[in-house]
Amino acid sequence: MLFLWFFNHRGGHWSSNAIEAIILALAQCYYYRLNQTSREQYSATITEQIISKNYKQDFLTTLQKEEKEYVYEKSKNKNILRPSCNVRVVMLVIPAGIAQNQAFRENVFVMLVGLATKTPTIVVGRPGSSKTLAMNVLLSNLSSSAKNKMLSTIGLDDFFVLSFQCSKMTTSAMIEKRWKQAVDYQNKIKFRLCTLGFVLFQLFAIVVSSEMINSDEASLSKDSSKQTRSVVLWLDEVGLAEWSPHRPLKVLHKLLEDNNNKIAFIGLRFELYFFGFNWRLDAAKMNRLILHQVPQPKDSDLKETADTIIKEQSETTKSMSKELEVRIPNITLLYRNITQHNPFNFDFFGYRDFYALASYLKYKIQKHSSVTQDLLMEAALRNFGGMTKKDIEIYLLPKIKSYWLNDDLQIDPWKCHTPLHLIKNNIEQAQDEESPDIRNIMFIADYPAMWKILFDSGITSIQSTEVIFGSRFAEDQSSAMYLYQIIEKMRRTMNYGGLCILLQLDQLYDSLYDVLNQKYETIDNQKFCYLFFCFELYCRICVGGESIRCRIAKKFRCAVVVSKAEAHHEAQESKYHVPVAFLSRFEKFYLDPTLLEDYSLDPLWKCKWEKLQQMQEQAFFDLKQASPSTFFVGFVKSYTYISLLMNSFHQNRQQNFGSEHKVSDEEQIENAGQYCLKMLLQNTSLEKFLRNHVSHCDDFKPYADIVTFSIQLFSNCTIDVIEREGTNETVSNVLLQIVTHDYQVRDNPILDGRHGLYVVTRDKSLNSHRYLATSLDEYKTNKEIKVTEIRFKDLRDFVRETDFTCYVTDFLSHRPEHKDHRVLVIACESPMNNDMLAHHAHTQYLIEKAASINRLSNDTSWKKTIVLLCHRSNKQKKNRDRTNTNEFGYPLIFSSMWKRVFLDALLPSKYAKEVQINDICIANMSILSKRLEGNGVQLLTNSYEQALNHLNFADNDLVQIVRGHLTSSSPAGKKLQHVMKKLLNDILVTEKGALACLKALLEERLDDRGSLRRQFMLNLTHQIKHATAESYFVFSYSNDQTNKNYVIQYNSSIDVV
């Protein structure tokens, strides 16, 4: 079939045309599916056979000549016609700026023949090898509105495209359904051709064409009138479907066998190399279609591509790029060396990085009219980033220095080119109408929560950014409705050209390949207006077998947040690796903590960092002997300090905004140090304060509980979290994150606080507007009593994101009659894996978004505090889900919208029947002794029954005798009571008692859950219990040593209850 098609569309001598047709048919079937080495061998073999038959055609020469004669550049005013062939006039319009290198020519040629002959064809190549570009060029040339009429002379119909975006979720039913739609549409087209209206139209066309003066044009018009429309099914990113557990591509075996040239079929698949292996299509599919394996570009192809990109410019800017054109060979050498020598064993860098490098260099030179070291360094780090600071200094900087700077590096490469600088430049340059299509952003970090540094650094704001999480709410995970909601958010952001940050959205990423390709299209050159914005660019978002055409603004930015283990393929399971085809579509930036310790957007960053370290060493004098993780709950090396200083930077900008008073550098550094130290103290473990390991911080006392009972403290400060960190007269809405080891609050206490009543409620209705417990109705009419409601909600009560968002929004927007303080506590269990940690981060952002919208009302009459109560295990566990470097628990990463504190115990000590220990230290026993004296009776009561249970009595009557002695005034009773009083006094007052118990507690390993205060009370009760049991035993034995019925055995093996 292919031989006949090539032969019938050629002119000239019969024998030479036959040989050419044989060569082209062999190339289409066999040559194009081979790699470079096999191609050379195959070409030499065929050429040798042709020459042996006394023909002069060379296989490779004939093939390359044929590829080049199918196209002409749009920028040229004349058409390129084949001199020896008047029958075949082929004109494909190639837009200016597209390099017609070998890969592109082969892609166009193979696909064009596949469309013309309706031969199933699949193109396989590495990401960035012009597969999608070639297909788009062909379809733009073959559409009915833009098609060159001469294309019909070689049998090319008008093509209608039905596209299908493959993904990891693709099933065989989806592909079969799309195939059937294509066949049905083709049948409808054929039916329409037979209608009377179409026949009349054909007759009219013949009459009009017969009256034309030019007979050649008339002949061409007749040929055009005979053309038909055909349907082509385009499967894009076929390689993603191979990752699907459903094995959907197996259905192609049946469909290709039954097609009978009903529709044209083109498949595009990325080629993946890793660990030295190359994944290929199986032989069963390869035998049913034409396979084209796109060759890797040679250095000459790379130079041609870079030259085309750089020279695509107006006449006024040509002179500015002459210096850059001289550097093209060095650009190619740099790319070759980077791809051959890098720390990865897969294609972390690809062709798109090279194309983007050339385009960005041209753009920057047009802006600055000169080539500087800063410009070259920024271009290289923007397009070959994503590595650690160490790897960049080993693999990238020496190559830049050698190939671009003649071994003369005169600048600090990090001073103005940190990941934050580069991300900021990316977002700002996208707003420039003259900028090229700058690639989107991939944000790589060890802890995904670090993406909020974009807000704190001022790069963007929560109001102007749409952040979309892959929901971990129970019903959202399998909900198609939630996926549609995500897509709708994406479409809105694309419409107005905002920044969209995506996290944990593996189910959506496959649908965005066309968006991230940035090869946007126009529809018949139409422009559409939406509000005050004009749009002329379109792209596709694919879901399953359906495609949604979306308008997209040029200013639109997409930032995908992934972990280092996912991006660098360090995760143990390959299913967590980011696909290479996805990586290549982004500018990649790794937030390396070792780099951000020294460089940031703040010019005083390094000075503030050193000041923080100095003040921290002074406050925690034994920090040098211990890891900071033993001091600060949830501490993450470097990231905690980075987020802390960035938070300080944000606060400083907020305070100085609009102020005419200029603060000196020294003042800023000192203020930042004080602010950061306070934040660290708020998250210091209670153990360090008890040990007196914190100095020079007399003005700070650890938090006692979530609210405070009416208790006289020895320090003159308020110690509960809500009154210290909640709303006040100037701030109406506060977001507070509390991390605790304590158990969840299960009951609904009414607590008598220092400033009124604190009421704990649990409303299970998501739509309730009632924020006051029914049991407190009696207090409503008493205006002298201030009531603060603390509403507890478990995060697990919410099964959908919309439910949670509505609940929080309702809480913030509700305006009750009584303008008392309202507190909403969202309780989160300790995360056991990465998904749970991501779920809590998602929850935190939803609260932030609702709060930011509510603050726009500027109504401060109603005081609202939202508390994210994060329960954390005392024992850190390694994360073995995706990487071995992270630990479960809430990392100590600060955010400007949240206050974060550590709280040892939730409920007040009096309510919990415990002794308050937050504001004491083991060096000062007086406070603890006085508090224990006041609670001695309660402690003795709690220990009384436990002590009796700790003894084995030979006769049950002895139990009643011992109980009687504790209350009677008999000599024996007084003697026992005196012994017990002295024993209790020794335990509670002397250093060998409670203080020793507290010291021992600080040395032992704590339980997985529970507060330090609770553990101390358990240990103290345990000590009193054992001492009481021993006293009972000694007393009873000494009073009656002859009567065997009163024998008591001391059971020391009973565990503590």
Q: What is the pLDDT of residue 519?
A: 66
Task: Quote the pLDDT of residue 938.
Answer: 59
Question: Residue 319: pLDDT band by 50, 70, 90 thresholds?
Answer: low
Q: Which of 444, 442, 385, 381 is nearest to 417 (CA)?
A: 381
Bridge partners, residue 870, by sequence: 739, 828
Exposure letters 775-796 (e unless 16+ CB within 10 A, then b)? eeeebeeeeeeebbbbbbbebe
User: Which pLDDT value is given to residue 731?
Assistant: 80
Percent of the chain with pLDDT over 70: 70
Q: How much is the pLDDT for 866?
A: 92
Do the beta carbons of residue 168 and residue 510 sit within 8 Å? yes
Three-class DSSP category at 326: helix
948 falls in which pLDDT band (50, 70, 90)? low
Is residue 263 helix, strand or coil?
A: coil
Q: Is the dihedral of CA 679, 682, 687, 693 positive or negative?
A: positive
* Beta-ladder partners of 468: 502
pLDDT (tens digit per residue) in 445-496: 887 778 888 888 889 888 889 999 988 898 888 888 888 888 888 888 888 8
How many other C-beta atoms can be found within 10 angstroms of the C-beta atom of residue 541? 21
- pLDDT value at 215 more than 50: no
In which element (H, E) is residue 469 found? Answer: strand 465-469
Question: Which is it for strands 273-274 and 277-278: parallel, antiparallel or unpaired?
Answer: antiparallel
- Residue 785 binned pLDDT confidence (cut-offs 50, 70, 90): low
For 153-162, 295-304, 975-984, which range has the lowest pLDDT when averaged over its residues?
Answer: 975-984
Comparison of pLDDT for 426 and 910, the residue scoring more: 426
- 981 vs 80 pLDDT, higher one: 981
Structure tokens at 938: 């309660």
**Angstrom distance (rounded) from CA 93 to CA 758:** 75
844 token code pair: 């935190």
Give me the pLDDT at residue 538, please. Answer: 72
Strand 533-535 relative to strand 528-530: parallel, antiparallel, unpaired? antiparallel
User: Is the per-residue pLDDT at 660 higher than 80?
Assistant: no
Token pair listed for 579: 């696909």
Task: Evaluate if residue 19 carries a pLDDT over 60.
Answer: yes
pLDDT at residue 939 greater than cutoff 80: no
549 DSSP assignment: E
Residue 716, pLDDT above cutoff 90: no
Task: Output the pLDDT for position 1055.
Answer: 36
Structure tokens of 129?
A: 């090898």
For 806, half-sphere exposure in the C-beta direction (CA atoms, 13 angstrom radius) is 11
| Predicted pLDDT of residue 956 | 62
- pLDDT value for 953: 59
| Residue with the larger pLDDT of the pair 324 and 334 | 334
Mean pLDDT of 333-360: 89
Name the residue among 53, 50, 45, 2 with its Cα closest to residue 26: 2
pLDDT at 137: 84
* pLDDT at position 550: 79
The H-assigned helical ranges of 893-1011 are 909-912, 926-934, 936-949, 957-967, 971-989, 996-1003
Residue keyed to tokens 């001492």: 1027
- What pLDDT does 321 receive? 58
| pLDDT average, residue stretch 186-195 | 70
Cα–Cα distance for residue pair 44/762, rounded to 1 Å: 82
Burial of 824 (C-beta count, 10 Å sphere; 0-12/13-18/19+): buried
Rg (CA), the chain: 38
pLDDT band at 990 (very low <50, low <70, confident <90, very high): low
Predicted model pTM = 0.82
Confidence band for 772, pLDDT divided at 50, 70 and 90: very low
The distance of Cα 36 from the centroid of its chain, to the nearest Å, equals 38
Give the tens place of pLDDT for each residue, 820-854: 778 899 988 887 777 888 888 899 999 999 988 88
Tokens representing 483 are 């996926």
Q: What pLDDT score does 424 carry? A: 92
| Alpha carbon distances (Å) from 26 to 47, 49, 108, 458, 1019 | 12, 13, 17, 60, 86
Q: Residue ranges of the alpha helices (H) in 478-576?
A: 480-496, 506-509, 513-517, 564-567
d(CA 169, CA 244): 6
Whether the per-residue pLDDT at 88 is higher than 60: the answer is: no
Taking residue 319's Cβ as centre, other Cβ atoms within 10 Å add up to: 9
pLDDT surpasses 60 at 996: yes
Cβ(988)–Cβ(932) below 8 Å? yes
Helix or strand (DSSP H, E) at 751: strand 750-753
**How far apart, in whole angstroms, are the C-alpha atoms of residue 108 and residue 92?**
9
Q: In sequence order, which residues have a C-beta less than 8 Å from that of residue 733 and are 6 or more positions away? A: 727, 812, 851, 854, 855, 864, 865, 866
pLDDT at 1040 over 50: yes
More reliable by pLDDT, 656 or 378: 378
**In DSSP terms, which residues pair with 828 in a beta bridge?**
870
CB contact set of 687 (below 8 Å; sequence gap of 6+):
1002, 1012
Two structure tokens written together for 833? 């894996």
How does pLDDT run across 412-436, given as a tens digit for each residue? 889 889 999 999 999 998 888 778 8
Average pLDDT over residues 388-416: 88
Pick from 146-150, 657-661, 915-919: least confident: 657-661
* Exposure class string for 191-217: b at 16+ Cβ within 10 A, else e: eeeeeeeeeeeeeeeeeebeeeeeeee
**pLDDT tops 70 at residue 350:** yes
Q: Which one has a higher pLDDT value, 530 or 466? A: 466
Positive or negative, the CA dihedral 761, 764, 769, 774 is negative
Average pLDDT on 287-300 reads: 84
Residue 759 pLDDT exceeds 70: yes
Contact, 5 vs 290, CB < 8 A?
no
Tell me how far apart the alpha carbons of residues 467 and 970 are, in angstroms, rounded to a whole number.
76
The CA distances from residue 1042 to 158, 334, 585, 951, 1036, in Å, are 116, 100, 93, 19, 11
Determine the pLDDT at residue 79: 38
* Mean per-residue pLDDT over the chain, rounded: 75
Confidence at residue 623, expressed as pLDDT on a 0 to 100 scale: 61
> What is the average per-residue pLDDT within 915-927?
71
**Residue 89: what residue type?**
V
- Summarize pLDDT for 219-252 with one digit per residue, the tens: 434 444 445 778 888 888 787 777 777 788 888 8
Residue 592: partners with Cβ closer than 8 Å, 6 or more residues away: 388, 389, 419
pLDDT at res. 421? 92
Split at pLDDT 50, 70, 90, the class of 273 is: very low
Cα–Cα distance list, 795 to 517, 789, 822 (Å): 38, 19, 18
Q: What is the pLDDT of residues 23-58, one digit of tens each?
A: 888 988 889 888 888 988 998 898 888 888 878 788
- For residues 60-83, one letter each, b for 16 or more C-beta atoms within 10 angstroms of the residue's C-beta and e for the rest, the string is bebbeebbeebbbeeeeeeeeebe
Q: Tokens in use for 460? A: 């963007």
